[in-house]
């Protein structure tokens, strides 16, 4: 009695939205990355000039961005793993509260968190004024703000829930029974951790890492607002669609960023797959 | 577990919670203090930044835009997403998982790339930019959440009750509105609220696709780009209350536990 027509009819509106607002725009975006701009107008073409220029002009920015995104993704994944481990195995009755904190911070404002870190780390900001009021320092610490460290702290702060939740979701599948069975068979604490907990959390670890990496690599506001002169590829992409008006260039930069990010993610999945139970 | 490691874990947990919550807590705190900077020591509590927010001529339009956009995104994604989830529930689980994964692809793209790709597409297709283009763009990342949440609910739904209704002569539509929908309604409403919270919170995609108008997040951006005024804390607190409020109701309705 399940007729196919009805199934496709139910899926159709979502399919239309996905097709016209995702597949079509991204295809067009890929196409214009091979076009040129002549006298401020898009001109259809088939040239690799934009891609060559990305490597000419922005290679060091790209490499720096991938490095920074790797650092941020590794930090968020490790911290997210610890937090998920805490919820699942150590927190007991506090587990739901900790999970709840991760959930509300997930929805609690990307821009507001960046803004808050501006007010925390700035020269006349919360941290400096608090430390002065407590008499710990006499002069404000200038090195808190407008540098790579501030960018890393801010990115880790708002990406952390995105690592916690998938890792926790896969850790929830680990039952106490299998851990107790392993212990009864003589596996020590580390053995149980490395042979059961880590491999069983792999899906979540990979998902969280990939998501955090992509979002960090594509961010453009954090380096601008808390990084000062910190230059990431997103900071170079955004103006191509504003004042500079070179869409083909911006499109090529976007695809180079996505492609190289995908490369880093696949490499890290390969590295993680080396962690197998003995 | 030994007492010492218990204390260590408790300490780690506390540090995490402070790290996650303090940026948001400070925004709220400094929305109610009197000094013209967000800084210590706090001299007095005051509502002056709320007055400043209300007095700003850009506030009211941004507020209404945010309400209209997130409301529409919530309703449309609830309807389209529930339909899609019902469709997925009729497919075999392997194909359904594949289709759901496909639908989640927009969530993996950095919002900047999605925003500029949509901007160039709208301008090429000559779609006038405004709240309507923002609504369309937000559907792209709100829809997968609704589909996933409602589909998860349907996975442990007893379809025999629907079949009974059909056997007793109800049309498919009538069976849906009198049997299926009343049972899954809390989940659908919860999913719609999550979609609204995501829409309300979005800055990057809104910024690129709204044309000339403003929403609350782009209003905050216009305030913090020029000078750090604590009035931005008031707007931020308003956004937080709205997003976290809808999220809390949504979590309660969908009984999401991680």
Read off the pLDDT of each residue in A20-25 and give the average, rounded to a whole number.
Answer: 95
CA distance B22 to chain A (A): 9
Per-chain mean pLDDT for chain A: 89
Q: Is B203 on the interface with A (CB under 8 A)?
A: yes
Chain A residue numbers with beta carbons less than 8 Å from the beta carbon of B204 are 110, 221
Q: CB–CB of A161 and B20 under 8 A? A: yes
Residue A1: its pLDDT value, please?
45
Specify the DSSP element, H or E, that contains A41: strand A41-43
Q: Which of residues 182-201 of A touch B (CB under 8 A)?
A: none
What is the CATH code for A58-273? Answer: 1.10.3720.10
Given a cut of 90, whether residue A277 has pLDDT beyond it is no
Render A66-99 in DSSP notation, one character per residue.
HHHHHHHHHHHHHHHHHHHHIIIII-GGGHHHHH
Q: What percent of chain A has pLDDT over 90?
A: 49
Report the residue of A112, A242, A266 to disrupt the B interface, i.e. the one with the largest count of B CBs within 10 Å: A112
pLDDT at residue B1 in the model:
47
- Average pLDDT estimate for A168-181: 89
CB-CB under 8 Å, A112 with B220: yes
Report the chain A residue with the minimal C-alpha distance to residue B218: A111
Interval A7-33 mean pLDDT: 94
Give the chain B residue whose CA is nearest to the CA of A95: B13
- pLDDT tens-digit profile of B182-226? 989 988 998 999 999 999 999 999 999 998 889 999 999 988 877
- Residue A137 carries which DSSP code? -
Determine the average pLDDT of the residues in B5-18: 90
What's the mean pLDDT in A78-105? 90
pLDDT at residue B2 tops 60:
no
Q: How far is CA A40 from the centre of its chain?
A: 34
Give mean pLDDT, residues A46-57: 89
Cβ–Cβ below 8 Å for A220 and B112 = yes
- What span, in angstroms and rounded, lies between the C-alpha atoms of B252 and B151? 18
The pLDDT tens digits of the residues spanning A132-155 come to 888 888 888 877 788 899 999 999
Any chain A CB within 8 A of the CB of B98? no
pLDDT at site B257:
54
Q: Is the pLDDT of residue A36 over 70?
A: yes
B10 has a pLDDT exceeding 50: yes
Asked whether B88 and B152 are in contact (CB, 8 A), the reply is: no
For residue B50, give the H/E element and its range.
helix B48-55
Instruction: Check A257 against B113: CB less than 8 A apart.
Output: yes
Count the Cβ atoms, other than its own, within 10 Å of residue A67.
Answer: 11
Q: Give me the residues of B, 144-173, that contact A with CB < 8 A.
A: 147, 166, 172
Supply the ipTM of this predicted assembly: 0.89
**Does A15 score more than 70 pLDDT?**
yes
Which residue among B22, B110, B172 places its CB closest to the CB of A214? B110
The predicted model gives B19-40 an average pLDDT of: 85
CA distances for A50 relative to A16, A27, A34, A208, B170, angstroms: 31, 17, 7, 32, 60
Using CB atoms, which residue from B121, B139, B258 is nearest to A99?
Answer: B258
Is A251 in contact with B21 (Cβ distance < 8 A)? no
Evaluate whether B76 touches B139 at the Cβ level (below 8 Å).
yes
pLDDT tens digits for B118-130?
Answer: 999 999 899 999 9
Which residues of chain B have a CB within 8 Å of the CB of A233? Answer: none
Provide the shortest C-alpha distance from residue B163 to chain A (in Å).
10
Name the minimum distance, in Å, from the CA of B62 to any CA of chain A. Answer: 16
B80 touches A at CB < 8 Å: yes
Global pTM value:
0.90
CA angle A241, B229, B57 (to 5 degrees): 70
**B15 at A interface, C-beta within 8 A:** no
pLDDT confidence bin for A2, thresholds 50/70/90 = low
pLDDT category at A211 given cuts 50, 70, 90 is very high
Give all domains of chain B, ordered by start, each with its CATH number.
56-254 (1.10.3720.10)
pLDDT at position B143 is 95
Mean pLDDT score of chain B, rounded to an integer?
89
B82 vs chain A: nearest CA distance in angstroms?
9
Instruction: Name the band, by pLDDT with cuts 50, 70 and 90, for residue B52.
Output: confident
Is residue A50 within 8 angstroms of chain B, CB to CB? no
B139 touches chain A (CB under 8 A): yes
Instruction: Tell me the pLDDT tens digit for each residue of A212-269.
Output: 999 999 999 999 988 888 899 999 999 898 877 789 999 999 999 999 999 999 999 9
* pLDDT of residue A278 exceeding 70: no
* A110 contacts B203? CB cut-off 8 A: yes
Is A220 near chain B, with CB under 8 Å? yes
Cβ–Cβ contact A219 with B under 8 A = yes
Q: A16 vs B232, which has greater pLDDT?
A: A16
Average pLDDT for residues B67-93, to the nearest whole number? Answer: 95
Instruction: Say what the pLDDT of residue B230 is.
Output: 81
User: Distance (Å, rounded) from C-alpha A265 to C-alpha A173?
Assistant: 24
Centre a 10 Å sphere on the Cβ of residue A133 and count the other Cβ atoms it contains: 12
A173 touches chain B (CB under 8 A): no
- Residues from chain A that touch B113, judged by Cβ atoms under 8 A, are 218, 237, 254, 257-258
Those residues whose C-beta lies under 8 Å from the C-beta of residue A171, and which sit 6 or more positions away, are A84, A85, A88, A197, A200, A201, A204
Kindly determine whether residue B16 and residue A98, on different chains, have CB atoms separated by under 8 Å.
yes
Residue of B nearest to A7 (CA): B87
A126 and B26 in contact by Cβ < 8 A?
yes
- Please name the member of B37, B113, B236 whose beta carbon is closest to the beta carbon of A258: B113
Average pLDDT of A10-35?
A: 94
DSSP category for residue B179: I
pLDDT score at B248: 86
- What are A38's strand-pairing partners? A41
- Tell me how far apart the alpha carbons of residues A210 and A176 are, in angstroms, rounded to a whole number: 28
Under 8 Å between Cβ of B251 and B209 = no
């Amino acid at each position: 009695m399940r007729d196919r027509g009805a199934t496709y009819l139910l899926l159709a509106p979502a399919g239309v939205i996905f097709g016209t607002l995702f597949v079509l725009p991204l295809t067009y975006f890929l196409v214009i990355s091979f076009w040129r701009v002549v006298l401020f107008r898009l001109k259809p073409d088939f040239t690799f000039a934009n891609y060559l220029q990305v490597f000419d002009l922005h290679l060091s920015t790209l490499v720096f961005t991938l490095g920074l995104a790797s650092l941020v993704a590794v930090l968020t994944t490790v911290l997210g793993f610890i937090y998920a481990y805490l919820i699942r195995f150590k927190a007991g009755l506090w587990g739901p509260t900790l999970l709840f904190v991760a959930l509300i911070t997930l929805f609690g404002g990307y821009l507001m968190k960046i803004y808050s870190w501006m007010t925390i780390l700035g020269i006349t900001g919360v941290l400096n004024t608090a430390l002065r009021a407590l008499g710990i320092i006499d002069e404000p610490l200038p090195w808190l703000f407008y540098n790579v460290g501030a960018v890393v702290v801010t990115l880790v702060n708002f990406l952390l829930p995105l690592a916690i939740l998938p890792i926790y979701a896969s850790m929830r599948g680990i039952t106490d029974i299998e851990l107790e069975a392993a212990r009864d068979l003589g596996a020590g604490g580390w053995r149980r951790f490395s042979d059961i907990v880590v491999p069983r959390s792999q899906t979540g670890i990979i998902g969280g890492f990939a998501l955090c990496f992509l979002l960090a690599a594509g961010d453009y506001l954090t380096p601008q607002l808390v990084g000062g002169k910190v230059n990431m590829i997103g900071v170079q992409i955004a103006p191509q669609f504003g004042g500079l008006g070179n869409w083909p260039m911006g499109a090529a930069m976007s695809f180079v960023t996505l492609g190289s990010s995908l490369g880093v993610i696949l490499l890290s999945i390969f590295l993680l797959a080396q962690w197998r139970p003995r | 577990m030994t007492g010492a490691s218990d204390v260590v874990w408790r300490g780690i947990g506390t540090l995490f919670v402070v790290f996650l919550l303090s940026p948001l807590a400070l925004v709220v705190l400094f929305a109610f203090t009197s000094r013209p900077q967000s800084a210590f020591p706090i001299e007095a509590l005051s509502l002056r930044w709320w007055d400043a927010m209300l007095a700003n001529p850009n506030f009211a339009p941004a507020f209404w835009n945010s309400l209209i956009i997130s409301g529409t995104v919530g309703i449309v994604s609830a309807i389209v997403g529930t339909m899609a989830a019902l469709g997925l529930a009729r497919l075999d689980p392997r194909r359904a998982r594949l289709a759901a994964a496909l639908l989640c692809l927009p969530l993996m793209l950095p919002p900047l790339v999605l925003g500029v790709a949509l901007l160039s597409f709208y301008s090429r297709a000559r779609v006038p930019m405004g709240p309507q283009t923002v609504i369309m763009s937000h559907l792209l990342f709100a829809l997968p959440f609704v589909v996933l949440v409602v589909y998860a609910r349907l996975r442990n739904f007893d379809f025999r009750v629907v079949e009974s209704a059909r056997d007793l002569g109800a049309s498919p539509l009538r069976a849906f509105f009198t049997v299926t929908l009343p049972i899954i309604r809390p989940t659908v409403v919860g999913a719609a609220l999550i979609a609204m919270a995501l829409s309300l919170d979005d800055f990057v995609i809104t910024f690129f696709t709204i044309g000339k108008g403003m929403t609350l997040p782009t209003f905050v951006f216009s305030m913090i780009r020029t000078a750090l005024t604590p009035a931005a804390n008031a707007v931020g607190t308003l956004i937080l209350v709205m997003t976290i409020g809808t999220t809390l109701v949504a979590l309660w309705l969908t009984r999401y536990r991680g």
